[in-house]
Structure 1
Amino acid sequence: MAAPVVAVVGRPNVGKSTLFNRIAGERISIVEDTPGVTRDRIYAHAEWLGKEFSLIDTGGIEISDQPILTQIRQQAEIAIDEADVIIMVTDIDTGVTAADEQVAKILYRSDKPVVLAVNKADNIARRNDAYDFYSLGLGEPYPVSSVHGVGIGDLLDAVVDDLPEDKQQAHDRSIHLSLIGRPNVGKSSLVNAILGENRVIVSGVAGTTRDAVNTHFTDDQGHEFTMIDTAGMKKKGKLYENTERYALMRAMRAIDDSDVVLVVLNADEGIRELDKHIAGYAHEAGKGVIIVVNKWDLLKGHKQETMIDFTNLIRQEFQYLSYAPIIFVSAKTKQRLNKLPELVATVYQHHNRRVQSSTLNDVLVDALAANPTPTVNGRRLRVYYMTQVAVAPPTFVVFVNDPELMHFSYLRYLENKIRDAFDFTGTPIKIIKRHRQ
C-alpha cells in the first residue's frame, strides 16, 4: 500500500522548496534520461530512520490569478486533504507574520499532526529567536537551515514520530488499478462505465492513508479488482481543483497504490504535455501500464486509419512506454470496455512473471552469440550470467567483469531479447549490472 504523506506548507519565500529538496535528497533525481519523462518536483519519495514517506511541495502548486493570501489558504487546504503529517515552514528573518498566523489557524483546525519548521536559522544566536514562534500555537518550533542542512535531523525525528502505523490490508489479493490523467479526459466516466459493466460489487475497501473508499469488483472471468479512488476529484468548485500540478499530485497518490495504471488520454483533444508528465511517473514507479484512449466515439472519418495514426503518434510521444498496450474505448458508448478487465489481468500477470534462471541464461547465450559484447579502450565486456531477483516490476541482475564496460545501448539490447523470449507486455523490466570476479 502507499506510503504515508508529508506535506510542506507555508507562505511564499520561506524556503519550502529548498526544504523539500533537502529532505528528498538524491531520491528526487531522475536517473533515466528518457524523452518525455517528467522533471517535475512537486512530489517525491523520502526516507528517515527506515520509515518511507511521500513528500508534497505545496509551494509548487501554482494557483494563478488569485490574491496571495487566498493562494496560501488553498495550498494549506490541499495539504490538509492529502497529508498524514504537515510541515509548516516559517522564516526566522521576518518573525511571525499575519500570513503565518492565518496558515497556523487553518492547520490547527485540521486536527492533523503539524511540525513547525523555523527556516534560515543559520547560527546559534538566530536559533534562539525561534522561540517567538511558540505564539502560533503549533507546539515546539524546530529551527532549521534548509540551505546548510542544520537541524533537519531533529525536524525529521518529529515528523516520523507522527507518521501513522502501517495499515496494510491482509489477504487482499485483488489487482489494484487506477485511472490517471489530466482533468477532463473522462476518468470519472470511465470508472462509472467500468463498474456498470461489472456489476458484481463486493465491498468498499477503506483507503490506507486517506478517507477515500476504493471499490472492489469481480469481472466475468473471476478476476478480482480494487479500483483506486483518486480522492478529491469529485470536489468540483474548488479553485485549485483544475490546476495542472494538483492533478499531477493526485495522480502520484493513485500510482503509489496501484499494481496496474491506466493512463487515460482524450482522443478528441490529442496528446498534451501533462499527459506525458503523468505517464512518466507511472513508468518511473515501475507499475504495469495500459494506455487508454477515451472518447473514441467523437472522432470522425475512417476509424481504422485514424486508429493507426493515433497509435503511431502515441508511440512517438511516449517512447519510454513502448511496452504498454494501447486500447481505444468510449465511456459513453461502452466501446471495447468489456476488454479492459481482461487486459488489466494480463498486464498484472506479466508484471509478476518469474523466469527460471536456466531458461533466462539460454536466452542470454543466444543474445551474446548474435551480438558479441563490445570492446572499450582495448577491454572487452564479459557477461557471465543473469538471474531474476524481483517481480513487480520484473528485475534482473546481469553479472559482468566490469559494469563500466556495459553501455546503455547493450543493456537495451538485452532487454529487447528478454522481451522477445518472454511476454512482458504492459510492464517495465529492470536490468541491473553487477561486478563479478
Structure 2
Amino acid sequence: MTKKAYVIGTADTKGPELAYVRDLIAATGLETVLINVGTKGGDSGVDVTAASVAACHPEGPAAVFVNDRGAAVTEMARALTAFVGGRSDLGGIIGLGGSGGSAIIAPAMQALAIGVPKVLVSTLASGDVSAYVGASDVNMFHPVTDVSGLNRVSRKLLGNAAHALAGMMANPVPEAPDDRPAVVLSMFGVTTPAVQAITEDLSDQFDCLVFHATGSGGRSMEQLVYQGDVAGVLDITTTEICDLIVGGFLSAGEGRLDSIARSKLPYVGSCGALDMANFWGPESVPPQFKDRTLYHHNAQVTLMRANAEEAAQIGTWIGNKLNACEGPVRFLLPLKGVSALDIEGGPFYDPQANDALFQALRSTVKQTKNRRLIDLEMHINDPAFAKAAIAEFNEIYNEKGT
C-alpha cells in the first residue's frame, strides 16, 4: 500500500496555508491527504472533512460539535486520534496550528508509533513544548509569524517544514540488520557507571536502548514498552519517582511503571538517584526547600536531597506499583548508596534517609517467588552491582523463555 502524507489543520482558518504545504509535498512525488479538523466549516478542497473526523469520536460526532470552543477542541482531538489510529496508509503527518490547532493535532501524533515522521508547525514551539511532544518523537517547527496568511516569511518556513516531512518519508532510515531482542534501561548522570557496565555486558545478546530519566525519558521508555517492541526492562534509575513525590521538575507522572506492569516483561529495577529531586537554577527552588541540602549540579540544574520522610513515601509508592506487576520482578536495594552523590563523604550521603526508603519497600512489597527484593551490600555504581543486575536479569529472562 502506498504510504501518504497527512496534512492536518483547521481549514476554516488556515485553508491556504494547508493547501500550500500539501502542494509542496505533492510536488516531491508523494501522495497527500488533506484533513480538516476545524469545527466551523471550511471543508472546501479538503480530502477528509471535519464531520468525517468527528464521526470517529468514541461517542459520535455530537460530542465534537458543541457550543463551547474549549470542549470542541478537546473532543476533536479525541476524534482525530481515533481517526489516524485506524488509517493503514499513513506514512507521515504534518500539522499547522495555533494554540487550538496544536491541541487538536498533537495528541494524535503522540499516539502514533515512534519512528513515524511527525512535524507540527506551531506558534507555541518557542516555549515549553512538553505537552505537545509528550513521550513521542514529534518535531516542532516555530513559524515565527502567526500561521495566518502566506507571506515572505511564512512561505519559507512552512516550506521548510513541508520539505522536512517529505524528506523523512522519501528517505526512510534503513532497518538495521539486527535480530537481537531489545531491552530498555534508565540512566542518569549519577548512575552512568552502573548502566554503562550493564549495557556493555548485555550488548552482545541484546539491543540496549538507554533512556535519560528526565521525565520525558521515563514516559518514552514506558511508551516503547506499551508498543510491545521490548523484551525486558532494566530500570536502574527510578529517580523520576522522587520528583513526583517531592515536587521536582523531572517527574514522569503518576503512570510511571504502569506500562511495565501491564507488559508482564522481565523487570529488574533499582533505587538509582532516588536520593534527589531536580530543580532548575537556584532561584527555581521553592521557598519551603531553601534550607534543605542542595547541590548545584550546574548553572541550570539544582539538586535537593530527599529526606527520610520523603524517602519512605517514595518506597511505599514504588512498592505498590511493583505489587501490580504480574511478570517476574527483581528490585535491587544498593545498601551503600543510590547515586554518585550518595556515597560516604558525598554531599547526599544520608544512611537514615536510605534506610527509610529500603524499609518502606520491604514493608510494602508483597514478595513471592516471582516478585523479590534483593539486598546488595554495595554502592549502585560498584562494578559488582552491575554484575548482580545482569545475573538477575538473565535468570528471569531465561526462566520466562522470552
| TM-score normalised by L of structure 2 | 0.35
| TM-score normalised by L of structure 1 | 0.33
Greater relative contact order structure (CA < 8 Å, 6+ sep): 1
